[in-house]
Amino acid sequence: MQKMSDSRLPVMPSLDYRARIYDHYVHARTTPLAPTTLSGFAPQEPYLLRVIREHFPRDRDADILDLGCGHGVLIYFARRAGYSRIVGIDRSPEQVAEARRLKIEGVREGDLMATLAELADASQDAIIAFDVIEHFTREELLPLVDEIRRVLKPGGKWLIHTPNGESPFFGRIRYGDMTHEQAFTATSMGQLLLSSGFASLRCYEDTPVVHGVMSALRYSIWIVLRGMLRFYLAAETGQARGAILTQNFLVVALR
């Protein structure tokens, strides 16, 4: 049988899968991404207020850029806490439209890299990237890291929230979004950031925040289950100290 010439094979079109997903990012899903009212932010409030309280600059006039801000939930709580100079950028027109519907100020549509390129060196006190870097390939991520380091002031912070590849349930997050490209661990984050010139970083588990009876119960159960997982790691490897086991984790890097 004669082999078909490559020239006769159908040519598959090159499709930008990100454009298709991001253009319908809010509504092309089985559960709503944005709440109908601001009261829908309540489940996220305890955790985000803790992040703001513990990791945001002390100066309420700090220049803060939220990359991939979505419909602006972190900006909403930060502005409510007095950070009037925080602004956000997001690639998804639907996300930006939801922020406007919710009347959250400071959110605009745009490309993350193009936005960073417009900023002056050492112009930002903090950069936020919540659930963002996992959307980049390794090749795309390095220029992003370099640009963020360039625009941060000396001693400025980069707050990163991302899927944790060390978690036994990390696949729920890693594969929960079609545009996710990778997951990270504390070790791989150290490789990425320290080799790129950041001075230091610390990694934090997404522990339940106690703010009532039910959350206290959740926290207690989580402590027990985490202890069991650490015991398993210790039995297998001989050590479990410093293990980050939550599905996502927070990284705070200093310029």
**pLDDT tens per residue, range 177-234:** 899 999 999 999 999 999 999 999 999 999 999 999 999 999 999 999 999 999 999 9
Q: Report if residue 190 sits inside a domain.
A: yes
Q: Report if residue 46 sits inside a domain.
A: yes
Q: How far apart are CA 130 and CA 160, in angstroms?
A: 6
Global pTM value = 0.90
**Quick one: which of 211, 227, 228, 210 has its CA closest to 219?**
210
> Quick one: residue 10, left, alpha or beta (phi over 0 = left, psi -120 to 50 = alpha)?
beta
CB of 112 closer than 8 Å to CB of 89: yes
Tokens 């080799």, located at residue: 195
**CATH number, domain containing residue 145:** 3.40.50.150
Residue 82 has pLDDT above 50, yes or no: yes
Q: Report if residue 128 sits inside a domain.
A: yes
- The helix/strand/coil state of 35 is coil
Q: Report if residue 6 sits inside a domain.
A: no
CA distances from 107 to 58, 72, 88, 148, 149 (A): 22, 7, 5, 19, 22
Q: How far apart are CA 39 and CA 116, in angstroms?
A: 32
Q: Report if residue 3 sits inside a domain.
A: no
Q: Report if residue 230 sits inside a domain.
A: no
Comparing 2-11, 63-72, 107-116, 202-211, the range with the smallest average pLDDT is 2-11
Q: Report if residue 166 sits inside a domain.
A: yes
Q: Report if residue 24 sits inside a domain.
A: yes
Q: How far apart are CA 199 and CA 25, in angstroms?
A: 35
Structural domain count, the chain: 1
Q: Over 207-242, what HEC string results?
A: CCCCCCHHHHHHHHHHHHHHHHHHHHHHHHHCCCCC
pLDDT of residue 21: 86
- Residue 34 structural domain: 15-209+243-254
